[in-house]
Chains A and B, each alone.
Chain A
Amino acid sequence: MSKTLVEKIWDAHVVKSEEGFPDILYIDTHLIHEVTSPQAFDGLRKRGLPVFRPKQTVATADHNVPTLNQLLPIKEELSRYQVDMLTKNCAEFGIELYGLGHPFQGIVHVIGPELGITLPGKTMVCGDSHTSTHGAFGAIAFGIGTSQVEQVFATQCLLQSKPKTMKIEVNGELGPGVGAKDIILYIIAQISAAGGTGYFIEYAGSAIESLSMEARMTICNMSIEMGARGGLIAPDQTTFDYIKGREFAPAGEEWDKALAYWKTLYSDADAKFDSVLTFDAADIAPMITYGTNPGMGMGIQEHIPATAAQPETEKVSYKKALDYMGFDDNASLIGKPIDYVFIGSCTNSRIEDLREVADFVKGKRKADNVTVWIVPGSKQVEQQAKNEGLDKIFEAAGFQLREPGCSACLGMNEDKIPAGKYCVSTSNRNFEGRQGQNARTLLASPLTAAAAAVTGKITDVREMLEKVEG
């Protein structure tokens, strides 16, 4: 019987399937961090249980950590306590921890791939909704709640109903200045912040196939922003080349064996998806969001859709969002002054993102009205950036290169955007207060963020690229 990629991986991990019950799904790799794990460890203690397969769990500290002076004790008491608790819990239950100061520390969704922990065909979970990132390698990866973190600790399994499958094809060639972040913001704007709910999405088509692994991760990362449990891309030579030689990747005979299996991981030609959507890459412009959910995005030259044009039941929520942002119906955002630029998060903090930004800002300087934070996704990304001299380019441009963590994506540490200020951010959520109380977030690609940093206002990066090329 022909199967989709999701079905192939799912079926290979079902321990038990019984009518009326969710499947018992075996989890290959469990990633944990300081914020969503403490209550799960407590649950184990209450039940008197060990972690069933501690070697299949990897921990790091990312959500709550400062991005300056990481080797000093964390100043904020509750954050310090939570990070210390992770260290204590990992020691007690025998879990490998890449904590602050460790050369592998970083955002959980950045370190998994770069260490070769994330592999095709795996099932992976983490108490974080952006676990969908790992799907870029052709893995089933999704976010879970803390009760489920405890389930995986206790049994290395999860009770899960098999999801519906959706295929999103993006074909053709991207225009200049348009990248993976624009593709995914475009798709979400097309199908809304709830359009993928209940589905696992497989991204396919020539525009997806031509992307690097970093770019594929950006796409899969934001699957959750349209409500999908996860998103994935069939592994190919780009995937295999990325994995080979990484710290924990299979090597030697194991590599050959793994590769043979990975090459079977694709949706069969006649496999049936519950839903199929197709987009043309040529229709995608650099994107920017104007509202308070990631579905409220538009091409940067477009005008904000009018409240009157929204469905009746959605008008109140829509108006509330525009009021929060301080934007009017039909307004253009081009030329709108901004205050902060944040380049980071599990969506866009990989070396390729930093290189793209550095390449663009080389020889330029940030506008005086803008504060720019670049927060690398991991210690390894930070080190690589320094090895390549990107730190010098950022410094000359007035961009501040910080230490790794989730940072201003959710403002759990001190990296918060002040009330009322506008931040062009390469992160994944523009929710009210996400980056700080009453902060206003405009989601965009690293390139669009870099352009805004230089001009101090919302800018169509294509105009600046043309100048360079001309």
Chain B
Amino acid sequence: MLLSIPYLILINMKKFTKLTSAVVPLNIENIDTDQIIPARFLKATTREGFGENLFRDWRYNGDNTPKPEFVMNNPTYSGQVLVAGKNFGCGSSREHAAWAIQDAGFDAVISSFFADIFKGNALNNGLLPIQVSDDFLAQIFKAVEQDPKSALEVDLENQTVTIVETGAQESFEINPYKKSCLINGYDDIDFILAQTKLIEEFEQAR
């Protein structure tokens, strides 16, 4: 059941409904936003182009040659879903981390635990963070280890993620408001702007 939400302006945020894709596995815990996008790349003043520096120092040597052992440099792995160890996105509040992941072609990130600010930033950009159990995360890693082309099906409407090959499925939580935003491509500003009168009343009553 989707919420009916009053909006002032509609903005074209990326919509998310359903996807089936192979995954890029990154079985490391506590991946912080400094690894996702190092601070030296935060000097840009637009939202675009961060993807090429996603996981920069894990992905490239100092001389800019790719590190062959890093998963994103291995042509065996591809897909729109990044799967990572627990406490993904800890550290800095830089939204550039979510922008970089999205810019590199990912539409969803799966982990058994997300840092709060990263999770919020991802949702605000139409990048779906999916929190699964430790056990289900281990199943995904195992499936990909056995067959790198193993696909996952992510269904936002029904809040499920399925390992296509084994049929193993788990449901995930998402705030109903944010779910509605993602499915419709709405963003928070449009929602709050529609409440401006309430905000002014609040200010006057203080």
Residue ranges of A at the interface with B (Cβ–Cβ < 8 Å): 15-16, 20-22, 24, 26, 35-36, 38-39, 42-43, 47, 49, 52, 63-64, 78-79, 81-82, 85, 127-129, 131, 143-148, 150-151, 154-157, 159, 161, 193-194, 197-198, 224, 227, 229, 293, 295, 313-314, 316-317, 320, 410-412, 419, 429, 431-434, 437-438
- Chain B residues contacting A127 (CB-CB under 8 Å) are 93, 95
List, in ascending order, chain B residues with CB within 8 A of A316's CB: 27-28
- Which of A39, A151, A410, A437 lies in contact with B46, CB distance below 8 A? A39
Which 10 residue pairs spanning A and B have beta carbons closest together?
A145-B95, A145-B121, A38-B45, A78-B43, A143-B93, A147-B124, A194-B87, A129-B93, A317-B29, A146-B95
B117 touches A433 (CB 8 A): no
Assembled-state Cα–Cα distance A240/B81 (Å): 51
A302 to B154, CA, bound (A): 46
Q: Which of B25-80 contact A (CB under 8 A)?
A: 27-30, 32, 34-35, 38-40, 42-47, 57, 62
Whether B98 lies near A35 (C-beta < 8 A) is no
Distance in angstroms from B180 CB to nearest chain A CB is: 9
CB-CB under 8 A for A194 and B86, given A21-B177, A64-B43, A432-B34: yes
Contact with A along B70-114 (1 / 0, CB 8 A): 000000000000000111001111111010000000000000010
Tell whether A147 pairs with B198 under 8 Å between CB atoms, given A21-B3, A64-B43.
no
Q: How far is the CB of A139 from chain B (nearest CB, A)?
A: 16
Residues of A within 8 A of B187 (CB): 147
Contact with A along B108-149 (1 / 0, CB 8 A): 000001011100110011000000001000100000000000
From A81, A145, A320, B93 is in contact (CB under 8 Å) with A145
Number of A-B contacts (CB under 8 A): 181
Q: How far is the CA of A208 from the CA of B22 in the complex (A)?
A: 50
B40 and A412 within 8 A (CB): yes
Whether A433 contacts B57 by the Cβ 8 Å rule is: yes
Task: Let me know if B125 and A197 touch, CB within 8 A.
Answer: no
Inter-subunit contact A227/B85 (CB<8 Å): no
- Contacting pair B45 A85 (CB below 8 A): yes
Whether the Cβ atoms of B30 and A193 lie closer than 8 Å is: yes
Within 8 Å CB of A431, what residues of B? Answer: 32, 34-35, 91
Chain B residues with CB under 8 A of A43: 189
The 8 Å CB contact of A35, one of B42, B91, B115, B195, is: B42
CB within 8 Å for A144 and B93 given contacts A20-B176, A433-B57 = yes
Beta-carbon contacts under 8 Å, B170-206 to A: 175-177, 187-189, 191-193, 195-196, 198-199, 202-203
Q: A147, B95: Cβ atoms under 8 Å? A: yes
> Which of A82, A159, A194, A313 meets B192, CB within 8 Å?
A159
Could you tell me if B45 and A429 are in contact, using CB atoms closer than 8 angstroms? no
A15 in contact with B175 (CB, 8 Å): no
A329 to B193, CA, bound (A): 55
Q: Could you say which residues of chain A place their CB within 8 Å of the CB of B32?
A: 293, 429, 431
B116: chain A residues within 8 A (beta carbon):
197-198, 227, 229
Considering only CB atoms and an 8 Å cut-off, how many residues of chain B contact the other chain? 57
Q: Are B45 and A82 in contact (CB under 8 A)?
A: yes
List, in ascending order, chain A residues with CB within 8 A of B34's CB. 410, 429, 431-434
CB distance from A421 to the nearest CB of B (A): 14
Q: How far is the CA of A155 from the CA of B203 in the complex (A)?
A: 12
Name the residue on A nearest B5 (C-beta): A21
Query: Given A128-B93, A433-B57, is A24 in contact with B87 using a C-beta cutoff of 8 Å?
Result: no
| Residue ID in chain B nearest A317 by CB atoms | B29
Hey, which chain A residues are within 8 Å of B30, CB to CB?
193-194, 293, 295, 317
Q: Does B11 contact A (CB under 8 A)?
A: yes
Whether A145 contacts B120 by the Cβ 8 Å rule is yes
Which listed residue, B45, B85, B91, B199, touches A81 by the CB 8 Å rule? B45
List, in ascending order, chain A residues with CB within 8 A of B47's CB. 39, 146
Q: For residue A147, which residue of chain B has the nearest CB?
A: B124
In the assembled complex, 14 residue pairs joining A and B whose CB atoms fall closer than 8 Å, in A order, are: A15-B198, A20-B177, A36-B95, A42-B45, A129-B93, A144-B93, A148-B120, A155-B199, A159-B177, A198-B116, A313-B29, A317-B85, A429-B92, A434-B34
- Counting chain A CB atoms within 10 Å of each CB, which of B27, B86, B91, B175 scores highest? B91
A295 to B86, CA, bound (A): 14
**Interface assignment of B168: CB less than 8 Å from any CB of chain A:** no
Instruction: Establish whether residues B11 and A193, one from each chain, have CB atoms under 8 Å apart when the complex forms.
Output: no
Interface residues of B in 1-25 (CB under 8 A from A): 3, 9, 11
The residue among A64, A320, A411, A432 with the most chain B CB atoms within 10 A of its own CB is A432
Q: Give 11 new A-B contacts, CB below 8 A, not counting A82-B43, A156-B199.
A: A26-B199, A36-B95, A39-B45, A39-B47, A131-B93, A145-B121, A154-B193, A157-B192, A194-B30, A432-B34, A437-B38
Return B1 CB to nearest CB of chain A, in Å: 10
Question: In the complex, A377→B29 CA distance in Å?
Answer: 32
B195 contacts A15, C-beta separation under 8 Å: yes
> How far, in whole Å, are A15 and B35 apart by their CA atoms in the complex?
37
Evaluate contact between A129 and B91: CB separation under 8 angstroms. Answer: yes
Q: Which one of B27, B29, B38, B202 lies within 8 Å of A26 (CB-CB)?
A: B202
Decide: A429 and B113 in contact? CB cutoff 8 A.
no
Chain A residues whose C-beta falls within 8 Å of the C-beta of B96 in the assembled complex: 146
A148 to B187 Cα, complex, angstroms: 10
Residues of B within 8 A of A410 (CB): 34, 39, 92
B90: A residues at CB distance < 8 A: 193-194, 227, 293
Query: Could you tell me if B117 and A143 are in contact, using CB atoms closer than 8 angstroms?
Result: yes
Given A24-B192, A129-B117, A157 and B93 contact (CB-CB distance below 8 Å) = no
Q: Given A197-B115, A410-B39, A431-B35, are A155 and B28 neighbors across the interface (CB < 8 Å)? A: no
Given B38, B138, B196, B202, which contacts A433 in the complex, CB threshold below 8 Å? B38
B88 to A: closest C-beta gap in Å: 10
Q: Which residue of B lies closest to A318 (CB)?
A: B29
